[in-house]
Amino acid sequence: MFRIGQSTDIHQLKEGRKMILGGVEIEHEKGPYGHSDADVLVHAIGESILGALALGDLGKHFPDTDDTYKGMDSMNMLKEIYNMMIAKGYVIGNLDALIMIERPKMAPHIATMRANIAQALCCDIEQVSIKATRGEKMGFVGREEGVLAQCICLLQKSENA
């Protein structure tokens, strides 16, 4: 049995915030603003898995009204979501994610992001696709006001389920 999930996550970019995407800290003058570390890529990936499992959204499980999650490393969130996925008897088939950001360039960091995500989800790096594109100076992405990530995932029933 297969299940498909998809998600989009958006965060403002603010001066003085760390830029963490896919569990990688990237040198930049701005970073995503949010309750946790605001790793927009990991949020989109995690929420797509939750969606495939019909478990609601990220805010249901990690509410921004709960100080427990303030400043949380989003990779830890993803590991918790992995445990939910395993408990439901599913594993990653594959996921395909897109980061939309004007600057900095993502290409030098994508291999490490893929490795981080694959490790957190206990799957092969070949099951994790991450791409990036720019806003070409148009819209909130092009004006460097925000960053957006999207993900679609395919889950398959575990052979051990």
Over residues 82-97, the pLDDT tens digits come to 999 999 999 999 999 9
Domain regions of the chain by residue span: 1-155
List beta partners, residue 42. none
The structure's pTM equals 0.96
Residues contributing to the annotated binding site for a divalent metal cation? 9, 11, 43
Look at residue 64 in the predicted model and tell me its pLDDT. 87
pLDDT at 144 over 90: yes
User: Does pLDDT of 159 surpass 90?
Assistant: no
Instruction: Indicate the annotated binding residues.
Output: 9-11, 35-36, 43, 57-59, 62-66, 101-107, 140, 143
Q: For residues 39 and 154, give the distance between their C-alpha atoms in angstroms, rounded to a whole number.
A: 21
The pLDDT value recorded for residue 70 is 87
Question: How far is Cα 130 from Cα 141, in angstroms, rounded to an integer?
Answer: 18
Asked if the model's pLDDT at residue 161 lies above 80, the reply is no
What is the side-by-side strand order in the sheet with 128-133? 30-32, 2-15, 146-157, 90-100, 128-133
Q: Does domain 1-155 have CATH number 1.20.1250.20?
A: no
pLDDT at 69: 86
Please give the pLDDT value at position 40.
Answer: 98
